[in-house]
Amino acid sequence: MRALAAALLLPLLWLMPTAAQAHIASNGFLVMQVQGQSVSGSIELAVRDVELAVGADANHDGRITWGELRAAEPRLRQYLARNLSLAAQGAACAIDFGPMQINQRVDGNYAWLRLHAHCPTDVQRLVLGYSVLRDIDPSHRGLLTLSAGTVTQTAVLGGSDATTILAIDRASRWRTLVEYLQVGIWHIWSGIDHLLFLLSLLLPAVLLRRHGHWEPVERVRPAFISVLKVVTAFTLAHSITLTLAALELVRLPSRLTESVIAASIVIAALNNIFPLVTESRARIAFAFGLLHGFGFASVLTEMGLPSGARLLALVAFNLGIEAGQLAVVLAVMPVIYALRSAQVYRRALLPWGSAAIAGLALVWLLQRALLSSG
């Protein structure tokens, strides 16, 4: 043993302080979504780790080609089937793997396989067994992102724990509803472009265009009907496109929608100064509302709809937008109704307010159409 110690002392290589200079350790990446009895998602292993686990470098040249990896795919599937298990409350789920693809990550190429598991019962407690590379590289870990309903959790699989048990905390439908309702309300309040568009259409609602002049309406009823038409048309239109876009049935480039939304504000505001459309502003509201719907949807596509409650979340989000919009209408209408007979409203507030809105929107339009990289 004495000789051994001396032999070890010779290469003093690792004796320096903080010898730990390193690239990331070995990781498998797992993404799973739980829905009822099914678990679906993907699993990824570094190509280099696939080689270590099942061998892929058929010609031993130290380079793994796509052809070699494909030839190793059946072995990889068997290996994964042996080293990854899922069970719902102790009852094993049957896992299927989809065809292999390649995914590039920060430390190289990964073999990527879609996975789908069917469990005998609804998953409430997911028991994961993960022993990939355990005997060759005990520092390998499986990094799992698991979602159920609107709740996402992460876990580190492997290591000294052969199994990991995750409680599936499905967000209640009520929580989803409140969550998306709030996002909807917040979005209309923060989305000043939507508000300015609506405002531009509402400002003249307390007036009537007669012989080239604005005159105040005499009673509440015509003003109320005019507002109702505009708001309903706007709502109807943006609900249609919001739904289409959120369900990914239709997609428009964001630069286009953002630019047209800005343009819609310019047009609606200018229409108050140089009135072309006076009696049927609801049509403007509808036509441009279609585009504003795509704008609303961009928030949802960034957030993602919860897999278990897509429709609920969509409806809640839309209701949130309507609620926020209604609050604006209810706040603005009494004020401008009270002001409708004043000269200052017709001569100053309406034209200059509209001009200011048009100017601001024009700046946005130029920014979004010309400068924006998105």
Among residue numbers 308 through 327, which ones bind other proteins (CB under 8 A)?
Answer: none
- Nearer Cβ to other proteins (121/190): 190
Residue 341 sits in the site that holds other proteins (CB under 8 A): no
* Cβ 46 to other proteins shortest distance, Å: 8
Q: Which of residues 87-116 bind other proteins (CB under 8 A)?
A: 101-109, 112
Question: Are the beta carbons of 206 and 222 closer than 8 angstroms?
Answer: no
Residue 1 sits in the site that holds other proteins (CB under 8 A): yes
Instruction: Copy the structure tokens of residue 285.
Output: 């509201």
Question: Are the beta carbons of 50 and 100 closer than 8 angstroms?
Answer: no
Q: Which of residues 246-305 bind other proteins (CB under 8 A)?
A: 254, 258, 299, 302-304
- Nearer Cβ to other proteins (64/86): 64
- Name the DSSP letter for residue 193: H
Q: With the CA atoms of 73, 77, 79 and 80 taken in that order, what torsion angle do they form, in degrees rounded to the nearest 10?
A: 130
In terms of Cα–Cα distance, which of 291, 68, 318, 64 is closest to 183?
A: 318
Question: Are the beta carbons of 341 and 227 closer than 8 angstroms?
Answer: no
Per-residue mark of binding to other proteins, 22-41 (x: CB under 8 A): xxxxxx-x-x---------x
- Nearer Cβ to other proteins (121/163): 163
The whole-angstrom separation of Cα 176 and Cα 187 is 16
Q: Which of residues 131-150 bind other proteins (CB under 8 A)?
A: 133, 135-141, 143, 145, 147, 150
- Nearer Cβ to other proteins (289/306): 306
- Nearer Cβ to other proteins (72/284): 72
Residue 16 makes CB contacts below 8 A (sequence gap 6+) with none
Residue 370 sits in the site that holds other proteins (CB under 8 A): no
